[in-house]
Amino acid sequence: MGPHRDDFDGGLRFAAPPDSVEGYGGRGVDGAAYRPPGGYLFRDKAGDTWWIIFQVSPDPLSHGPKVRGDVLGCSESYDELVHIRVLATDVLRADADAAFHQKLPSSYEEAANVAAGIPRVGV
């Protein structure tokens, strides 16, 4: 469980199998990590650390420029369940990537606000 193998584009991925995840409908996670300035973990007000990732939708129509998915907060955890917080659902990856690159959030709360502002595809 956990980090953090290299992504195809030089970044990192965060992955956890379904049996180690809580809060994502019985699904595991495997997504590209967004970065705060100076690292890969976003710290919340309580001092806990989170990975913020883009989880690609399993929908077969989600590919190419129309890659859709969710922005998730994943607790940094070793030997425990990974707690998932869904920050944005059914968004285009291009929109999510642009929002995180333009706003450059540095905390979990800032990342959650950025994710909340990403337009949903189905709305």
Higher confidence at residue 122 or residue 33? Answer: 33
- Report pLDDT digits (tens) over 104-117: 999 999 999 999 99
What's the rounded Cα separation, in Å, for the pair 20 and 79? Answer: 9
pTM of the model: 0.90
Taking alpha carbons only, the member of 53, 45, 49 closest to residue 27 is 53
Please name the residues in contact with 24: beta carbons below 8 A apart, sequence gap of 6 or more.
72, 84, 86
- Report pLDDT digits (tens) over 46-88: 999 999 999 999 887 777 778 999 999 999 876 689 999 999 9
- Report pLDDT digits (tens) over 23-52: 999 999 999 999 999 888 999 999 999 999
Residue 6's pLDDT is 56
What's the rounded Cα separation, in Å, for the pair 88 and 90? Answer: 7
What's the rounded Cα separation, in Å, for the pair 7 and 58? Answer: 18
Residue 27's pLDDT is 93
Q: How confident is the model at residue 1 (pLDDT cuts 50, 70, 90)?
A: very low
Taking alpha carbons only, the member of 87, 83, 90, 92 closest to residue 112 is 87
Residues in a beta bridge with 71: 54, 88
Residue type, 45: K
Over residues 8-34, mean pLDDT: 88
